[in-house]
Amino acid sequence: MEINAYSKYALRDLYQAIDLLDRKINHCTALEIFPSQETREMTLRKLATKRAALVKSALALTALGVATEPNSLPRSYIHLVQNTGDVAAAQDAPSRAVRKPRAAK
């Protein structure tokens, strides 16, 4: 049985992997202690390469028309949308509105 690679769940998983790599890059930049600067740069380069491949795959799925919930976007995407002020991209960003309580049964 073939798995549909063009599903919103595949895109959500890609976004989660991108978010994880963003956190790893941030940790290596700020907190990780490396024996040398070359080791740090090599590790950051590897992580950035992995992240770039995931971003490319996510953009390809988005270009194919795969939609996902705005709250599953990686945090790095949300900051880019807020800084650029792009209206089309801002529509994909999660809203900060308070949810309404569910109606009683």
- Nearest 5°: phi and psi at 86? -70, 120
At 64-97, the pLDDT tens digits run: 888 888 888 888 877 655 555 443 443 344 433 3
Tally of structural domains, the chain:
1
Q: Where are the beta strands (DSSP E) in 1-105?
A: none
Question: What is the token pair recorded at 26?
Answer: 């941030």
39-55 pLDDT, tens digit per residue, is 999 999 999 999 999 99
Type of residue numbered 43: T
Asked if residue 72 lies in contact with residue 12, where contact means CB atoms within 8 angstroms, the answer is yes
Specify if 3 maps to a domain: no
Compute the distance between CA of residue 101 and CA of residue 51 in angstroms, rounded to an integer.
38
pTM to 2 decimal places: 0.69
In which domain, by residue range, is 27 found? 8-90
Residue at 20 is within a domain? yes
Residue 85 lies in a domain: yes
Alpha helices in 7-74 (DSSP H): 8-30, 37-63
Residue 24 falls within a domain, yes or no?
Answer: yes
